Structure formats: structure tokens, C-alpha cells
Structure 1
Amino acid sequence: MESLITVILVVTLILFAGLNIFQETLDAQDALTATWQEMEEISGDRARTVLTPISSTIKSNGAIIEVILKNDGSTKLTDFDRWDLFVQYYTDSASYEIDWYPYVTTYPASNQWTNAGIYVDASSAESEVYEPGILNPGEEMIVQVQVMPTIGMTTTNMLTVATEYGIQASTIITR
């Protein structure tokens, strides 16, 4: 009789351990499936994202760069604070600068950038009407960057912007 109770206890423990392992395997599979679906969604957003530089100008004696970017993809672009912006340029003293610039929501101070406006057509200053603050497909955004030290005269420089999905656009800027 004593060995029967021991057998029942051992079998119960084995069944409990087996079921617990099975449940943990199912939970891990659920987490893997959710992560895989999220990865596919981000990959799809990347495939549908196209950012095209339209024009660029240098203002304020080389201290401010303005670039017009157009969303030629089919993905709405937001979260500008998660974008990366780099400028490679020559200064008046001919030194070569490569800098990353943080995003601000206000007018940019030295070595910062901002979204100076989203437009249906930036050249005619036709403001966006649908979903303000979001760069929808077909809309244009004016990126304003303040650099310090200033950009040198008769130099060729480059600005690169990368979205949160890793899609990048580069443009050559001359002064």
C-alpha cells in the first residue's frame, strides 16, 4: 500500500512537470509568433517608405540649412524625434565637420534640427490639411537645421536623414 501511494505521488509529479514544460513551450511559441508578426509589419513599413529630397538652401550666412523632403512612399511618417539627421560639411576655415543633430519641436538652436512645416506643396507654402503633424504620402516637409560652425563658402556638403524605419535620404548642398 505504501508503494502505491509513492507511485501515485511520483506519477503526479511527472505529469505536473510535463504539463508545466508543455505550457512554457506554448507560451514561448506565442511570444515568438507575436515578435515575428511585429517584425513583418516593420519590414512592410520599410518597403513602403520612400523619402525624396526635393531642394536644399543655405541661409543666414551658412548657419541654417533648409531641405524639402517629400514622402513618395505609402507609409505615414511621424515620430521625428526618432529620426537621425547627419550633416557633413566644410567650415569657413576649411575644417571638415560630421555631426549628428537632435530633433527639437521649437526653432532650432545651434546643432539642432526641426520640422519647420509640412505642406501639400512646400514651394507654394500650401499647408497640409489632413492629419496635421504627420508626413502623409505625397506631402512635403521642410527640415531646418542650424549648424555651428557655419558652412563655408564655395563648398559641397551633404545632409542625410534616416527615419525610424531606417530609410534614408541624402542630398548634396552647395554654398
Structure 2
Amino acid sequence: MGVQVAGLMIITLAIMVLTLMSQVAVTSELETTSAATQTIDSTGERARTNMEFVDSSAAVGELTVELKNTGFTTIFDFSQMDFIVEYLDSLDNDVITSLTYTTGALGNNEWTKTSISPDGFQPNAWDPSESVVLDAKLSPTQKAGTIAAITVSTPSGVSAISSFGADGFFWFIDAPDISLTTTGSWQDIDLSANVPTGTTGAVVEIINTGTFDTQSGLVRGKEDTRDYMSNVLFEEIEGRTNGRPGLSWVPPV
């Protein structure tokens, strides 16, 4: 009888061990599956997320940027975004600062969401095709005449990088193509769709994309009526070169 009882106890113990091992295996599999699902979801969100800079302007110690949501995801929590600036201060020190998000009055090295446009679908959320304006306050201030870098990242880790000047210049990452199809005469170019409201001028670069032949070209202001092209040799641009020496500062039409 003692042997039989012992045998029953051993069998019961074996069943309990097998059951416990089975539970551990199931739990481990569920955790692995959950982690894999989270990774897929995170990767998918990054692939659907994108943004681009529309505008940036700087004053002494202040910075305003505008970005457009060009992806397919909505950003709800701005506190999870990163806003990083890199610039030279007045003493030529390289300053790299990750600004702190705030919903109140701006303090030094803080940034805030100022507005979303058009913001009609989900109020206060940055939906696809909407633009957001971010304001920041920098300390120490940027050295005059220098160019600084801005990096803005979404909660999923997608980043957009741009630059700004201490004197209010905005440099496009990829400059808009405003090429003309008409040659041999002066033509108006409307820049209103390419530059922010209130812009007082634009830097235009002329590029000869041909592989041969020398071309002539020039940009002049809207109210400038002088015929610079009366001399066909003026502003010659060789094939596959650009007209960087002839960069022009012209007011938008």
C-alpha cells in the first residue's frame, strides 16, 4: 500500500511539473508575440509618419518654425516630441540644446505649440496635411550673421532638419524649382506659393542643366526695368554649371 501511495504521489508531482512548464511556455510565447506585435506597430507608425519644414524665422533669442504633417499619422502628445537646436553664441561657443516643452509662458530654452492650421478635424491634434507653428526661446542668443540647425522629432522617432539665420533667413533643404519654359524675353515668376507671408526678398540660383552650350540668364526685381540682357555675353553660364556668382536678391512678385 505504501508503494502504491508513493507511486500516486510521484505521478501527481509529475503532472504538476508538466502543467507548470506548460504554463511557463504559454506565458513566454504570449510575451514574445506581444513584443513582436509592438515592434511591428512601432515600425509601421514610423513608416507612415513624415513632416517637413515650411518656414522658420528668428529674432534675438526667439525662434518660430512652421512644419507640415506630410505623413498619414496624427500627433497628439507634443510633450513626447524633441526640439533640438545647434548654433554659435556671441562668444563663438557651439551650443547644442534640447529644448523643454511647455504649455505656459516661454522661459529660456523652452518651446511650445502655438497654433495648428486648419485644425478642423481633431482640435489640438496635428493631423495629416495640417501645419503647426512652434515657438521657442533660446539662451544664450545666437551670434549675428551665423546659420543654426534645427531638429524636430516626432514621438515615433521621425525627424526633420532645417536651418535658420540669426537675421531671419530661411534656407530650404530642397529649393523649389521655379524654372521657366519661355526663353528670349523677361518673364514674371510668382513666388507667393514658395515663401512665407511677409517675405521681403528671395535668393535665386540659376543653373544650366544642359551638358553643352553656354546659356545666358538673369533675375531682376519686379520693378527693375533695365535691360541687362542687351549684351548676350552678360551672365553667361557654362553647361552643367550654376550661376552662383549671379545669385540675386529679388522681392517676391
The TM-score, its normalising length taken from structure 2, stands at: 0.64
Counterparts of residues 1-175 of structure 1 (less than 5 Å): 1-59=1-59, 62-120=60-118, 128-175=119-166
Once residues 46 and 110 of structure 1 are traced to their aligned partners in structure 2, the CA distance between those partners, rounded to angstroms, is 31
Q: Helix, strand or coil for the counterpart of 2:104?
A: coil
Structure 1 range deviating more: 65-74 or 102-111: 102-111
Aligned-pair identity (%): 24
Q: Helix, strand or coil for the counterpart of 2:9?
A: helix
Unaligned stretches of 5+ in structure 2? 167-253
Q: Which amino acid counterpart does residue 139 of structure 2 have in structure 1?
A: M
Which has the higher Rg, Structure 1 or Structure 2?
2
Q: Which runs of 4+ in 1 moved over 4 A?
A: none
Number of residue pairs aligned between Structure 1 and Structure 2: 166
Distance apart, 1:109 and its partner CA: 0.8
Match of 2:188 in 1: none
Q: Helix, strand or coil for the counterpart of 1:5?
A: helix
Distance apart, 1:41 and its partner CA: 1.0
Distance apart, 1:94 and its partner CA: 2.3
Once residues 31 and 133 of structure 1 are traced to their aligned partners in structure 2, the CA distance between those partners, rounded to angstroms, is 35
Distance apart, 1:174 and its partner CA: 1.2
The TM-score, its normalising length taken from structure 1, stands at: 0.91
Structure with greater helix percent: 1
Q: Which amino acid counterpart does residue 97 of structure 1 have in structure 2?
A: V
Q: Which amino acid counterpart does residue 66 of structure 1 have in structure 2?
A: T
Match of 1:125 in 2: none
Unaligned stretches of 5+ in structure 1? 121-127
Structure 1 range deviating more: 65-74 or 90-99: 90-99
